[in-house]
Structure 1
Amino acid sequence: MGKIIVTGASGQFGGAAANSLLETCAPEDLVFLSRTPEKLAHFAERGAIVRQADFDDPASLPAAMAGGERMLLISTARVGTRVGQHTNAAQAAAAAGVKQIAYTSLINADRPGNPAIVKDDHFATEQAIRATGVEYTFLRDSQYSEAVAAAMAIPALQMGVKPDNCGDGRVSFVSRDDCVAVAVGVLTQDGHGNQAYPLTGPEALSIPDAMALVSQLAGKPIEVQHVDDEGMFEYFDSLGVVRHASDIVPDGPIPWSSDDMVTFGMSIREGYFDEVTDCVERITGRAPRTLRSVLEQYQHIWPK
Protein backbone atom coordinates (compact mmCIF):
# COMPACT_ATOMS: atom_id res chain seq x y z
CA MET A 1 0.00 0.00 0.00
CA GLY A 2 1.19 3.54 -0.76
CA LYS A 3 1.73 6.22 1.79
CA ILE A 4 -0.80 8.49 3.51
CA ILE A 5 -0.12 12.21 3.05
CA VAL A 6 -1.33 14.89 5.47
CA THR A 7 -1.06 18.51 4.29
CA GLY A 8 -0.75 21.36 6.78
CA ALA A 9 0.57 18.99 9.43
CA SER A 10 1.89 21.89 11.52
CA GLY A 11 -1.64 23.24 12.06
CA GLN A 12 -4.15 22.25 14.73
CA PHE A 13 -6.21 19.86 12.60
CA GLY A 14 -3.23 18.46 10.70
CA GLY A 15 -1.15 17.98 13.83
CA ALA A 16 -3.97 16.11 15.56
CA ALA A 17 -4.50 13.91 12.49
CA ALA A 18 -0.76 13.21 12.27
CA ASN A 19 -0.60 12.19 15.93
CA SER A 20 -3.58 9.89 15.54
CA LEU A 21 -2.19 8.27 12.38
CA LEU A 22 1.13 7.61 14.15
CA GLU A 23 -0.80 5.56 16.71
CA THR A 24 -2.29 3.26 14.06
CA CYS A 25 0.10 3.24 11.07
CA ALA A 26 3.76 2.45 10.51
CA PRO A 27 5.57 5.81 10.61
CA GLU A 28 7.43 5.10 7.36
CA ASP A 29 3.99 4.96 5.63
CA LEU A 30 3.15 8.52 6.68
CA VAL A 31 4.13 11.72 4.85
CA PHE A 32 3.53 15.02 6.64
CA LEU A 33 3.72 18.25 4.67
CA SER A 34 4.19 21.87 5.74
CA ARG A 35 5.49 25.13 4.32
CA THR A 36 7.65 25.16 7.46
CA PRO A 37 8.84 21.54 7.85
CA GLU A 38 11.06 22.49 10.78
CA LYS A 39 7.83 22.67 12.78
CA LEU A 40 7.38 18.93 12.12
CA ALA A 41 10.69 17.80 13.65
CA HIS A 42 8.87 15.97 16.45
CA PHE A 43 7.09 13.83 13.84
CA ALA A 44 10.36 13.12 12.02
CA GLU A 45 11.86 11.95 15.32
CA ARG A 46 9.04 9.39 15.54
CA GLY A 47 9.93 8.03 12.09
CA ALA A 48 7.43 9.82 9.87
CA ILE A 49 8.49 11.30 6.54
CA VAL A 50 8.49 15.10 6.68
CA ARG A 51 8.55 17.18 3.48
CA GLN A 52 8.35 20.83 2.52
CA ALA A 53 5.35 21.80 0.38
CA ASP A 54 4.17 25.26 -0.67
CA PHE A 55 0.80 25.30 -2.46
CA ASP A 56 1.73 28.68 -3.97
CA ASP A 57 4.74 27.04 -5.62
CA PRO A 58 3.47 24.18 -7.82
CA ALA A 59 7.04 23.21 -8.70
CA SER A 60 7.59 22.18 -5.06
CA LEU A 61 4.69 19.73 -5.05
CA PRO A 62 5.63 16.69 -7.20
CA ALA A 63 8.45 15.73 -4.84
CA ALA A 64 6.22 16.38 -1.82
CA MET A 65 3.46 14.08 -3.12
CA ALA A 66 5.71 11.27 -4.43
CA GLY A 67 4.70 7.78 -3.30
CA GLY A 68 1.38 8.84 -1.81
CA GLU A 69 -1.78 6.77 -2.20
CA ARG A 70 -4.23 8.69 -0.02
CA MET A 71 -4.08 12.35 0.96
CA LEU A 72 -5.80 14.52 3.54
CA LEU A 73 -6.07 18.01 2.03
CA ILE A 74 -6.78 20.41 4.90
CA SER A 75 -8.23 23.72 3.77
CA THR A 76 -5.78 26.57 4.20
CA ALA A 77 -6.58 29.77 6.09
CA ARG A 78 -6.35 32.06 3.09
CA VAL A 79 -10.03 32.81 2.47
CA GLY A 80 -10.54 34.18 -1.03
CA THR A 81 -7.25 32.95 -2.51
CA ARG A 82 -7.09 29.38 -1.25
CA VAL A 83 -8.96 27.77 -4.17
CA GLY A 84 -5.86 28.21 -6.31
CA GLN A 85 -3.73 26.69 -3.55
CA HIS A 86 -6.07 23.71 -3.16
CA THR A 87 -6.27 23.20 -6.93
CA ASN A 88 -2.47 23.14 -7.18
CA ALA A 89 -2.35 20.52 -4.41
CA ALA A 90 -5.09 18.34 -5.93
CA GLN A 91 -3.57 18.43 -9.43
CA ALA A 92 -0.10 17.61 -8.10
CA ALA A 93 -1.50 14.71 -6.06
CA ALA A 94 -3.28 13.31 -9.12
CA ALA A 95 -0.11 13.64 -11.22
CA ALA A 96 1.85 11.82 -8.50
CA GLY A 97 -0.56 8.87 -8.58
CA VAL A 98 -2.53 9.58 -5.39
CA LYS A 99 -5.72 7.49 -5.55
CA GLN A 100 -7.92 9.26 -2.96
CA ILE A 101 -8.14 12.86 -1.71
CA ALA A 102 -10.05 13.59 1.50
CA TYR A 103 -10.84 17.29 1.87
CA THR A 104 -12.04 19.27 4.89
CA SER A 105 -15.08 21.09 3.53
CA LEU A 106 -18.20 22.73 5.02
CA ILE A 107 -21.65 21.32 5.72
CA ASN A 108 -24.02 22.03 2.82
CA ALA A 109 -21.24 23.64 0.78
CA ASP A 110 -23.03 22.27 -2.30
CA ARG A 111 -26.52 23.57 -1.48
CA PRO A 112 -27.71 26.37 -3.78
CA GLY A 113 -28.64 29.55 -1.96
CA ASN A 114 -26.33 29.04 1.02
CA PRO A 115 -25.27 32.65 1.76
CA ALA A 116 -22.05 31.80 3.66
CA ILE A 117 -19.27 33.14 1.44
CA VAL A 118 -16.87 30.63 2.99
CA LYS A 119 -18.81 27.92 1.15
CA ASP A 120 -17.70 29.38 -2.19
CA ASP A 121 -14.07 28.38 -1.56
CA HIS A 122 -15.07 24.94 -0.33
CA PHE A 123 -17.44 24.15 -3.19
CA ALA A 124 -14.94 25.40 -5.79
CA THR A 125 -12.29 23.17 -4.21
CA GLU A 126 -14.64 20.18 -4.28
CA GLN A 127 -15.19 20.82 -7.99
CA ALA A 128 -11.43 21.09 -8.59
CA ILE A 129 -10.85 17.76 -6.83
CA ARG A 130 -13.61 16.07 -8.84
CA ALA A 131 -12.04 17.43 -12.04
CA THR A 132 -8.81 15.49 -11.36
CA GLY A 133 -10.67 12.17 -11.64
CA VAL A 134 -9.15 11.00 -8.34
CA GLU A 135 -11.55 9.41 -5.84
CA TYR A 136 -12.74 12.07 -3.40
CA THR A 137 -14.05 12.05 0.15
CA PHE A 138 -15.58 15.37 1.22
CA LEU A 139 -15.60 15.89 4.98
CA ARG A 140 -18.28 18.57 5.29
CA ASP A 141 -17.81 19.81 8.85
CA SER A 142 -20.44 21.71 10.79
CA GLN A 143 -19.30 24.59 13.03
CA TYR A 144 -16.67 23.50 15.53
CA SER A 145 -17.71 23.26 19.17
CA GLU A 146 -14.23 24.54 20.02
CA ALA A 147 -15.07 27.85 18.29
CA VAL A 148 -17.97 28.28 20.70
CA ALA A 149 -15.85 27.26 23.68
CA ALA A 150 -13.09 29.79 22.99
CA ALA A 151 -13.64 32.49 20.32
CA MET A 152 -17.34 32.90 21.15
CA ALA A 153 -17.49 32.19 24.88
CA ILE A 154 -14.54 34.30 26.09
CA PRO A 155 -15.66 37.73 24.77
CA ALA A 156 -19.27 36.95 25.70
CA LEU A 157 -18.25 36.26 29.29
CA GLN A 158 -15.97 39.31 29.38
CA MET A 159 -18.68 41.69 28.13
CA GLY A 160 -21.78 39.92 29.44
CA VAL A 161 -23.39 40.33 26.02
CA LYS A 162 -23.20 38.48 22.70
CA PRO A 163 -24.40 40.38 19.61
CA ASP A 164 -25.70 37.84 17.13
CA ASN A 165 -27.41 37.76 13.73
CA CYS A 166 -28.23 34.03 13.70
CA GLY A 167 -31.77 34.44 15.05
CA ASP A 168 -33.17 31.12 16.19
CA GLY A 169 -31.24 29.15 13.56
CA ARG A 170 -29.79 25.93 14.91
CA VAL A 171 -26.32 24.45 14.53
CA SER A 172 -25.23 20.85 14.98
CA PHE A 173 -21.94 21.85 16.65
CA VAL A 174 -19.25 19.21 16.11
CA SER A 175 -16.00 18.72 17.97
CA ARG A 176 -12.81 19.16 15.95
CA ASP A 177 -11.61 15.97 17.68
CA ASP A 178 -14.45 14.04 16.05
CA CYS A 179 -13.73 15.57 12.63
CA VAL A 180 -10.08 14.55 12.98
CA ALA A 181 -11.12 11.01 13.94
CA VAL A 182 -13.35 10.80 10.86
CA ALA A 183 -10.51 12.04 8.64
CA VAL A 184 -8.21 9.35 10.03
CA GLY A 185 -10.97 6.79 9.53
CA VAL A 186 -11.50 7.56 5.85
CA LEU A 187 -7.73 7.45 5.25
CA THR A 188 -7.25 4.08 6.95
CA GLN A 189 -10.47 2.28 6.01
CA ASP A 190 -11.76 1.18 2.63
CA GLY A 191 -15.08 2.11 1.04
CA HIS A 192 -15.05 5.90 1.42
CA GLY A 193 -14.23 6.79 -2.19
CA ASN A 194 -16.51 9.31 -3.93
CA GLN A 195 -18.47 10.04 -0.75
CA ALA A 196 -19.52 13.32 0.91
CA TYR A 197 -20.09 13.15 4.67
CA PRO A 198 -21.87 15.90 6.63
CA LEU A 199 -20.11 15.79 10.02
CA THR A 200 -22.21 16.95 12.97
CA GLY A 201 -22.56 16.60 16.69
CA PRO A 202 -25.45 14.74 18.34
CA GLU A 203 -27.88 17.68 18.61
CA ALA A 204 -28.79 20.98 16.96
CA LEU A 205 -28.79 24.06 19.20
CA SER A 206 -29.36 27.77 18.61
CA ILE A 207 -26.69 30.33 19.52
CA PRO A 208 -28.85 31.46 22.49
CA ASP A 209 -28.99 27.78 23.60
CA ALA A 210 -25.19 27.55 23.36
CA MET A 211 -24.66 30.81 25.27
CA ALA A 212 -27.08 29.62 27.96
CA LEU A 213 -24.88 26.55 28.42
CA VAL A 214 -21.76 28.74 28.68
CA SER A 215 -23.51 31.01 31.16
CA GLN A 216 -24.64 28.05 33.28
CA LEU A 217 -21.19 26.47 33.40
CA ALA A 218 -19.44 29.79 34.12
CA GLY A 219 -22.00 31.04 36.62
CA LYS A 220 -22.05 34.41 34.82
CA PRO A 221 -24.89 36.01 32.85
CA ILE A 222 -24.70 36.43 29.07
CA GLU A 223 -27.33 38.44 27.22
CA VAL A 224 -27.72 37.47 23.57
CA GLN A 225 -28.54 40.62 21.63
CA HIS A 226 -30.32 39.83 18.37
CA VAL A 227 -29.06 42.28 15.73
CA ASP A 228 -29.53 42.54 11.99
CA ASP A 229 -26.70 41.92 9.55
CA GLU A 230 -25.66 45.59 9.45
CA GLY A 231 -25.57 45.65 13.25
CA MET A 232 -23.28 42.65 13.15
CA PHE A 233 -20.94 44.41 10.73
CA GLU A 234 -20.84 47.42 13.09
CA TYR A 235 -19.96 45.14 16.01
CA PHE A 236 -17.03 43.63 14.10
CA ASP A 237 -15.98 47.14 12.97
CA SER A 238 -15.75 48.09 16.65
CA LEU A 239 -13.36 45.17 17.21
CA GLY A 240 -11.11 46.30 14.35
CA VAL A 241 -12.02 43.40 12.06
CA VAL A 242 -11.64 44.14 8.33
CA ARG A 243 -14.79 43.76 6.26
CA HIS A 244 -13.35 41.82 3.30
CA ALA A 245 -11.00 38.86 2.98
CA SER A 246 -8.87 40.83 0.52
CA ASP A 247 -8.04 43.29 3.33
CA ILE A 248 -6.79 40.68 5.82
CA VAL A 249 -3.22 41.36 6.93
CA PRO A 250 -1.10 38.21 6.33
CA ASP A 251 -0.09 36.66 9.66
CA GLY A 252 -1.95 39.50 11.41
CA PRO A 253 -3.81 39.25 14.72
CA ILE A 254 -7.25 38.62 13.12
CA PRO A 255 -7.14 36.07 10.28
CA TRP A 256 -10.79 36.47 9.21
CA SER A 257 -13.09 39.15 7.83
CA SER A 258 -16.49 40.34 8.98
CA ASP A 259 -18.24 39.55 5.69
CA ASP A 260 -17.16 35.95 6.27
CA MET A 261 -18.63 35.92 9.79
CA VAL A 262 -21.81 37.88 9.00
CA THR A 263 -22.72 35.64 6.04
CA PHE A 264 -21.91 32.61 8.21
CA GLY A 265 -24.51 33.90 10.66
CA MET A 266 -26.99 34.37 7.82
CA SER A 267 -26.39 30.75 6.79
CA ILE A 268 -27.17 29.58 10.33
CA ARG A 269 -30.28 31.76 10.47
CA GLU A 270 -31.54 30.33 7.18
CA GLY A 271 -31.17 26.72 8.34
CA TYR A 272 -28.07 25.51 6.47
CA PHE A 273 -26.47 24.18 9.69
CA ASP A 274 -29.63 22.60 11.10
CA GLU A 275 -28.81 18.99 10.25
CA VAL A 276 -27.87 16.06 12.49
CA THR A 277 -26.23 12.99 10.93
CA ASP A 278 -24.74 9.71 12.17
CA CYS A 279 -21.59 10.00 10.03
CA VAL A 280 -19.20 10.51 12.96
CA GLU A 281 -20.42 7.39 14.75
CA ARG A 282 -20.56 5.29 11.56
CA ILE A 283 -16.95 6.07 10.63
CA THR A 284 -15.30 6.27 14.08
CA GLY A 285 -17.41 3.71 15.94
CA ARG A 286 -18.13 6.14 18.77
CA ALA A 287 -20.83 8.71 19.46
CA PRO A 288 -19.89 12.33 18.69
CA ARG A 289 -19.09 14.63 21.60
CA THR A 290 -21.75 16.97 22.93
CA LEU A 291 -21.23 20.73 22.98
CA ARG A 292 -21.40 20.61 26.79
CA SER A 293 -18.46 18.19 26.98
CA VAL A 294 -16.30 20.50 24.85
CA LEU A 295 -17.32 23.56 26.89
CA GLU A 296 -16.35 21.73 30.08
CA GLN A 297 -12.96 20.90 28.54
CA TYR A 298 -12.26 24.59 27.80
CA GLN A 299 -13.85 26.06 30.93
CA HIS A 300 -10.46 26.54 32.61
CA ILE A 301 -9.44 29.22 30.06
CA TRP A 302 -12.57 31.34 30.56
CA PRO A 303 -12.37 34.69 32.38
CA LYS A 304 -13.22 34.38 36.05
Structure 2
Amino acid sequence: MGKIIVSGASGQFGHAAASQLLDMGEEVIALSRSTDKLADLAARGAEVRAADFDSPDGLVEAMRGGDKLLLISTTLVGERPRQHANAINAAKQAGVKHVVYTSLLGARKPGNPSVEGFDHIATEEMLEQSGVAYTFLRNSLYAEAVATAMAIPALTSGTKPENAGRGRVPIVSRDDCIATAVGVLTQEGHENKAYDVTGPELWALPDAMALVSEMAGKPIEVQDVDDEGMFAYFDALGVPRKSEDVDPNGPIPWASEGMVTFGKSIREGFMDVDSDDVERITGNKPRTLKSVFEQYQGAWPK
Protein backbone atom coordinates (compact mmCIF):
# COMPACT_ATOMS: atom_id res chain seq x y z
CA MET A 1 0.00 0.00 0.00
CA GLY A 2 1.21 3.50 -0.83
CA LYS A 3 0.77 6.62 1.25
CA ILE A 4 -2.73 7.95 1.90
CA ILE A 5 -3.27 11.71 1.78
CA VAL A 6 -6.01 13.12 4.02
CA SER A 7 -7.19 16.64 3.18
CA GLY A 8 -8.72 18.87 5.84
CA ALA A 9 -6.94 16.83 8.48
CA SER A 10 -7.54 19.47 11.17
CA GLY A 11 -11.32 19.09 10.81
CA GLN A 12 -13.33 16.51 12.77
CA PHE A 13 -13.78 14.10 9.84
CA GLY A 14 -10.24 14.36 8.50
CA HIS A 15 -8.56 14.18 11.89
CA ALA A 16 -10.48 11.06 12.88
CA ALA A 17 -9.86 9.39 9.50
CA ALA A 18 -6.12 10.12 9.66
CA SER A 19 -5.99 8.82 13.22
CA GLN A 20 -7.74 5.55 12.30
CA LEU A 21 -5.44 5.05 9.30
CA LEU A 22 -2.40 5.50 11.57
CA ASP A 23 -3.92 2.96 14.00
CA MET A 24 -4.02 0.49 11.10
CA GLY A 25 -0.36 1.04 10.31
CA GLU A 26 -0.96 3.07 7.13
CA GLU A 27 1.44 5.78 6.00
CA VAL A 28 -0.45 9.07 6.14
CA ILE A 29 0.16 12.50 4.63
CA ALA A 30 -2.03 14.94 6.59
CA LEU A 31 -2.92 18.21 4.84
CA SER A 32 -4.30 21.36 6.44
CA ARG A 33 -4.11 25.13 6.18
CA SER A 34 -3.39 25.13 9.92
CA THR A 35 -0.72 22.49 10.47
CA ASP A 36 -0.33 23.46 14.15
CA LYS A 37 -3.58 21.56 14.76
CA LEU A 38 -1.93 18.36 13.48
CA ALA A 39 0.85 18.06 16.08
CA ASP A 40 -0.67 14.91 17.60
CA LEU A 41 -0.82 13.22 14.16
CA ALA A 42 2.79 14.25 13.44
CA ALA A 43 3.84 12.77 16.79
CA ARG A 44 2.30 9.48 15.68
CA GLY A 45 4.24 9.42 12.42
CA ALA A 46 2.03 11.26 9.93
CA GLU A 47 3.75 13.52 7.42
CA VAL A 48 2.16 16.92 8.04
CA ARG A 49 2.05 19.36 5.13
CA ALA A 50 0.50 22.79 4.64
CA ALA A 51 -2.04 22.94 1.81
CA ASP A 52 -4.58 25.58 0.81
CA PHE A 53 -7.12 24.63 -1.87
CA ASP A 54 -7.69 28.34 -2.55
CA SER A 55 -4.17 28.60 -3.90
CA PRO A 56 -2.88 26.02 -6.40
CA ASP A 57 0.72 27.09 -5.63
CA GLY A 58 2.41 24.37 -3.66
CA LEU A 59 -0.49 21.92 -3.86
CA VAL A 60 1.32 19.50 -6.19
CA GLU A 61 4.28 19.40 -3.80
CA ALA A 62 1.93 18.87 -0.85
CA MET A 63 0.47 15.79 -2.54
CA ARG A 64 3.69 14.34 -3.90
CA GLY A 65 4.34 10.76 -2.86
CA GLY A 66 0.69 10.03 -2.15
CA ASP A 67 -1.05 7.05 -3.75
CA LYS A 68 -4.63 7.78 -2.60
CA LEU A 69 -6.36 11.00 -1.56
CA LEU A 70 -9.28 11.36 0.83
CA LEU A 71 -10.78 14.58 -0.55
CA ILE A 72 -13.07 15.93 2.16
CA SER A 73 -15.41 18.52 0.68
CA THR A 74 -14.65 22.05 1.82
CA THR A 75 -17.19 24.14 3.68
CA LEU A 76 -18.03 27.18 1.55
CA VAL A 77 -21.01 26.43 -0.69
CA GLY A 78 -20.44 27.84 -4.17
CA GLU A 79 -16.67 28.01 -3.72
CA ARG A 80 -16.17 24.27 -3.49
CA PRO A 81 -15.99 23.39 -7.22
CA ARG A 82 -13.09 25.82 -7.70
CA GLN A 83 -11.30 24.59 -4.57
CA HIS A 84 -11.90 20.94 -5.42
CA ALA A 85 -10.69 21.47 -9.00
CA ASN A 86 -7.40 22.82 -7.61
CA ALA A 87 -7.07 19.75 -5.40
CA ILE A 88 -7.95 17.24 -8.15
CA ASN A 89 -5.59 18.84 -10.67
CA ALA A 90 -2.76 18.85 -8.13
CA ALA A 91 -3.42 15.23 -7.14
CA LYS A 92 -3.31 14.15 -10.78
CA GLN A 93 -0.05 16.03 -11.40
CA ALA A 94 1.45 14.56 -8.23
CA GLY A 95 0.70 11.01 -9.42
CA VAL A 96 -2.17 10.18 -7.04
CA LYS A 97 -4.01 7.16 -8.45
CA HIS A 98 -7.30 7.12 -6.52
CA VAL A 99 -9.40 9.95 -5.07
CA VAL A 100 -12.07 9.14 -2.45
CA TYR A 101 -14.52 12.06 -2.21
CA THR A 102 -17.11 12.91 0.48
CA SER A 103 -20.22 13.75 -1.55
CA LEU A 104 -23.91 14.08 -0.68
CA LEU A 105 -26.73 11.53 -0.65
CA GLY A 106 -29.13 11.94 -3.57
CA ALA A 107 -27.17 14.78 -5.17
CA ARG A 108 -27.13 13.19 -8.63
CA LYS A 109 -30.87 12.46 -8.73
CA PRO A 110 -32.33 14.62 -11.55
CA GLY A 111 -34.16 17.70 -10.29
CA ASN A 112 -32.68 17.74 -6.79
CA PRO A 113 -33.08 21.38 -5.62
CA SER A 114 -30.30 21.31 -3.01
CA VAL A 115 -27.70 23.99 -3.74
CA GLU A 116 -25.36 22.01 -1.49
CA GLY A 117 -25.75 19.24 -4.04
CA PHE A 118 -24.75 21.38 -7.03
CA ASP A 119 -21.17 21.63 -5.72
CA HIS A 120 -21.01 17.86 -5.22
CA ILE A 121 -22.38 17.16 -8.71
CA ALA A 122 -19.73 19.45 -10.20
CA THR A 123 -16.98 17.72 -8.21
CA GLU A 124 -18.17 14.21 -9.07
CA GLU A 125 -18.23 15.16 -12.76
CA MET A 126 -14.70 16.59 -12.55
CA LEU A 127 -13.47 13.35 -11.00
CA GLU A 128 -15.23 11.23 -13.62
CA GLN A 129 -13.45 13.21 -16.33
CA SER A 130 -10.07 13.39 -14.55
CA GLY A 131 -8.69 10.03 -15.64
CA VAL A 132 -7.91 9.24 -11.98
CA ALA A 133 -9.82 6.42 -10.25
CA TYR A 134 -12.51 7.76 -7.90
CA THR A 135 -14.94 6.64 -5.22
CA PHE A 136 -17.91 8.79 -4.23
CA LEU A 137 -19.07 8.52 -0.62
CA ARG A 138 -22.55 10.04 -0.72
CA ASN A 139 -23.04 10.88 2.94
CA SER A 140 -26.49 11.44 4.42
CA LEU A 141 -27.46 14.07 7.04
CA TYR A 142 -25.16 13.77 10.08
CA ALA A 143 -26.80 12.51 13.27
CA GLU A 144 -24.34 14.68 15.23
CA ALA A 145 -25.76 17.81 13.52
CA VAL A 146 -29.29 16.77 14.47
CA ALA A 147 -28.16 16.07 18.06
CA THR A 148 -26.52 19.50 18.45
CA ALA A 149 -27.28 22.21 15.87
CA MET A 150 -30.93 21.13 15.55
CA ALA A 151 -31.72 19.76 19.00
CA ILE A 152 -30.19 22.45 21.23
CA PRO A 153 -32.01 25.50 19.75
CA ALA A 154 -35.26 23.47 19.56
CA LEU A 155 -35.02 22.50 23.24
CA THR A 156 -34.05 26.05 24.23
CA SER A 157 -36.99 27.72 22.47
CA GLY A 158 -39.47 24.83 22.58
CA THR A 159 -40.16 25.26 18.87
CA LYS A 160 -38.56 24.14 15.62
CA PRO A 161 -39.65 25.48 12.22
CA GLU A 162 -39.16 22.78 9.58
CA ASN A 163 -39.67 22.76 5.80
CA ALA A 164 -38.71 19.10 5.26
CA GLY A 165 -42.29 17.98 5.95
CA ARG A 166 -42.68 14.21 6.25
CA GLY A 167 -39.82 13.52 3.81
CA ARG A 168 -37.56 10.73 5.02
CA VAL A 169 -33.78 10.79 5.43
CA PRO A 170 -31.48 7.96 6.63
CA ILE A 171 -29.67 10.06 9.28
CA VAL A 172 -26.11 8.73 9.68
CA SER A 173 -23.45 9.09 12.36
CA ARG A 174 -20.26 10.86 11.27
CA ASP A 175 -18.45 7.90 12.88
CA ASP A 176 -19.92 5.58 10.25
CA CYS A 177 -19.04 7.99 7.43
CA ILE A 178 -15.43 8.04 8.66
CA ALA A 179 -15.27 4.25 9.06
CA THR A 180 -16.64 3.82 5.52
CA ALA A 181 -14.03 6.20 4.11
CA VAL A 182 -11.24 4.35 5.94
CA GLY A 183 -12.59 1.04 4.63
CA VAL A 184 -12.61 2.26 1.03
CA LEU A 185 -9.07 3.65 1.38
CA THR A 186 -7.65 0.42 2.81
CA GLN A 187 -9.56 -2.25 0.89
CA GLU A 188 -9.35 -3.40 -2.73
CA GLY A 189 -12.02 -3.04 -5.38
CA HIS A 190 -13.68 0.30 -4.69
CA GLU A 191 -12.41 2.16 -7.77
CA ASN A 192 -14.94 4.08 -9.89
CA LYS A 193 -17.88 3.32 -7.61
CA ALA A 194 -20.40 5.38 -5.66
CA TYR A 195 -21.74 4.40 -2.24
CA ASP A 196 -24.76 5.66 -0.30
CA VAL A 197 -23.50 6.21 3.25
CA THR A 198 -26.62 6.01 5.40
CA GLY A 199 -27.85 5.24 8.89
CA PRO A 200 -29.95 2.17 9.74
CA GLU A 201 -33.35 3.93 9.79
CA LEU A 202 -35.25 6.42 7.65
CA TRP A 203 -36.47 9.39 9.70
CA ALA A 204 -38.90 12.23 9.13
CA LEU A 205 -37.32 15.20 10.92
CA PRO A 206 -40.43 15.90 13.07
CA ASP A 207 -40.10 12.32 14.42
CA ALA A 208 -36.40 12.89 15.16
CA MET A 209 -37.36 16.03 17.12
CA ALA A 210 -40.07 14.04 18.95
CA LEU A 211 -37.37 11.60 20.08
CA VAL A 212 -35.22 14.53 21.31
CA SER A 213 -38.24 15.90 23.20
CA GLU A 214 -39.00 12.53 24.78
CA MET A 215 -35.37 11.91 25.83
CA ALA A 216 -34.96 15.45 27.22
CA GLY A 217 -38.35 15.55 28.92
CA LYS A 218 -39.01 18.94 27.33
CA PRO A 219 -41.64 19.81 24.71
CA ILE A 220 -40.66 20.75 21.16
CA GLU A 221 -43.37 22.03 18.85
CA VAL A 222 -42.35 21.36 15.25
CA GLN A 223 -43.88 24.08 13.05
CA ASP A 224 -44.47 22.92 9.50
CA VAL A 225 -43.40 25.87 7.31
CA ASP A 226 -42.90 26.37 3.57
CA ASP A 227 -39.55 27.35 2.07
CA GLU A 228 -40.30 31.08 2.41
CA GLY A 229 -41.18 30.56 6.08
CA MET A 230 -37.88 28.76 6.59
CA PHE A 231 -35.98 31.64 4.96
CA ALA A 232 -37.84 34.06 7.26
CA TYR A 233 -36.74 32.05 10.30
CA PHE A 234 -33.08 32.22 9.26
CA ASP A 235 -33.46 35.92 8.31
CA ALA A 236 -34.60 36.60 11.89
CA LEU A 237 -31.43 34.89 13.17
CA GLY A 238 -29.31 37.14 10.96
CA VAL A 239 -28.20 34.36 8.62
CA PRO A 240 -27.34 35.62 5.10
CA ARG A 241 -29.38 33.96 2.34
CA LYS A 242 -26.58 33.57 -0.23
CA SER A 243 -23.19 31.99 0.33
CA GLU A 244 -21.42 34.91 -1.36
CA ASP A 245 -22.70 37.16 1.47
CA VAL A 246 -21.22 34.98 4.21
CA ASP A 247 -18.41 36.35 6.35
CA PRO A 248 -16.23 33.26 6.89
CA ASN A 249 -15.01 34.75 10.18
CA GLY A 250 -18.45 35.89 11.32
CA PRO A 251 -20.67 34.27 13.95
CA ILE A 252 -22.63 32.30 11.29
CA PRO A 253 -20.28 30.96 8.60
CA TRP A 254 -23.03 29.55 6.34
CA ALA A 255 -25.98 30.72 4.26
CA SER A 256 -29.65 29.85 4.65
CA GLU A 257 -30.06 28.99 0.96
CA GLY A 258 -28.13 25.77 1.56
CA MET A 259 -30.26 24.80 4.57
CA VAL A 260 -33.62 25.69 3.01
CA THR A 261 -32.98 23.83 -0.27
CA PHE A 262 -31.59 20.89 1.73
CA GLY A 263 -34.90 20.71 3.60
CA LYS A 264 -36.78 20.95 0.31
CA SER A 265 -34.76 18.06 -1.13
CA ILE A 266 -35.70 15.91 1.90
CA ARG A 267 -39.36 16.93 1.56
CA GLU A 268 -39.40 16.00 -2.13
CA GLY A 269 -37.90 12.54 -1.48
CA PHE A 270 -34.39 13.02 -2.85
CA MET A 271 -32.79 11.64 0.33
CA ASP A 272 -35.23 8.76 0.82
CA VAL A 273 -32.54 6.13 0.23
CA ASP A 274 -32.20 2.73 1.90
CA SER A 275 -28.70 1.28 1.61
CA ASP A 276 -26.51 -1.33 3.30
CA ASP A 277 -23.24 0.08 1.93
CA VAL A 278 -21.93 1.06 5.40
CA GLU A 279 -22.28 -2.46 6.78
CA ARG A 280 -20.88 -4.06 3.62
CA ILE A 281 -17.76 -1.86 3.69
CA THR A 282 -17.12 -1.63 7.44
CA GLY A 283 -18.47 -5.00 8.57
CA ASN A 284 -20.48 -3.24 11.28
CA LYS A 285 -24.08 -2.14 11.52
CA PRO A 286 -24.34 1.69 11.44
CA ARG A 287 -25.19 3.54 14.66
CA THR A 288 -28.79 4.40 15.46
CA LEU A 289 -29.91 8.01 15.84
CA LYS A 290 -30.86 7.30 19.45
CA SER A 291 -27.32 6.16 20.29
CA VAL A 292 -25.93 9.46 18.96
CA PHE A 293 -28.55 11.43 20.94
CA GLU A 294 -27.48 9.55 24.08
CA GLN A 295 -23.86 10.55 23.38
CA TYR A 296 -24.73 14.27 23.14
CA GLN A 297 -27.58 14.45 25.68
CA GLY A 298 -25.25 15.97 28.29
CA ALA A 299 -24.91 19.10 26.12
CA TRP A 300 -28.66 19.66 25.92
CA PRO A 301 -30.25 22.47 28.00
CA LYS A 302 -31.63 21.14 31.27
Report the residue type matching 1:53 in the other structure: A
Q: CA deviation at 1:57?
A: 1.4
**Alignment match, 2:8:** 8
Report the residue type matching 2:184 in the other structure: V
> 2-side partners of 1:95 and 1:131: how far apart?
15
Report the residue type matching 2:127 in the other structure: I
**Alignment match, 1:290:** 288
5+ residue gaps, structure 2:
none
Report the residue type matching 1:25 in the other structure: G
**Alignment match, 1:277:** 275
> 1-side partners of 2:40 and 2:291: how far apart?
29
Deviations 1:179-204 (A, max 9, x none): 00000000000100000001110110
> 2-side partners of 1:253 and 1:96: how far apart?
37
Q: CA deviation at 1:128?
A: 1.1
SS at match of 1:132: coil
Identity %: 64
Is 1:184 the counterpart of 2:178 in the alignment? no
Q: Equivalences for 1:137-286 in 2 at 5 Å? A: 137-286=135-284
* Cα-Cα RMSD: 0.8
Deviations 1:200-225 (A, max 9, x none): 10110101110011001101111100
Is 1:57 the counterpart of 2:74 in the alignment? no
- TM-score w.r.t. length of structure 2: 0.99
- TM-score w.r.t. length of structure 1: 0.98
> 1-side partners of 2:235 and 2:76: how far apart?
20
Deviations 1:37-88 (A, max 9, x none): 1211111111110001111111211111111111100001111111111011
Q: CA deviation at 1:288?
A: 0.4
Deviations 1:144-199 (A, max 9, x none): 00110000000000010110111110110000000000000000001000000011
Q: CA deviation at 1:292?
A: 0.5
Q: How many pairs align?
A: 302
**Alignment match, 2:105:** 107
> 2-side partners of 1:30 and 1:167: how far apart?
43
Report the residue type matching 1:10 in the other structure: S
5+ residue gaps, structure 1:
none
SS at match of 2:103: strand
Report the residue type matching 1:135 in the other structure: A
SS at match of 1:58: coil
> 2-side partners of 1:78 and 1:264: how far apart?
15
SS at match of 2:57: helix
> 1-side partners of 2:223 and 2:54: how far apart?
41
SS at match of 2:58: helix
Deviations 1:246-269 (A, max 9, x none): 000022221211111110110000
Q: CA deviation at 1:110?
A: 1.0
> 1-side partners of 2:249 and 2:121: how far apart?
25
